[in-house]
Amino acid sequence: MGSSVCTTLVEIGEIGRLSSSMKKIEKGLKNGNKYQDEEYRAKLKKSNERSLALIKAAMDIVVAAGLLQLAPKKITPRVTGAFG
């Protein structure tokens, strides 16, 4: 569970960093199409990968909390199985 929490924090930080660098690229292009810029598309792809990893880590936290029975009334075995 601890590693999933740390992964979540790392992914949030990386998504924020990528977002700020993408905004700088957008400002630099001004009138150009941002989707034709190779660097922008690479960062967008990386951001999408990081978002998927963030979702997976969040789901792993729910599974770990269910297996550890930290919230037995809210995270039932069915919920744990569904997220697993």
Distance CA 84, CA 72 (A): 16
Q: What is the mean pLDDT of residues 65-70?
A: 91
Q: Is the pLDDT of residue 1 over 80?
A: yes
Q: Which two tokens stand for residue 11?
A: 């992914």
* Domain containing residue 41: 2-83
Question: Once rounded to an integer, what is the mean pLDDT over residues 37-62?
Answer: 94
Number of domains comprising the chain: 1
pLDDT at 16 over 90: yes
pLDDT over 90 (residue 71): no
CA proximity to 25, closest of 13, 11, 36: 36
49 to 11, 18, 46: CA distances (angstroms): 10, 11, 5
Q: What's the N-to-C CA distance of the chain in angstroms?
A: 13
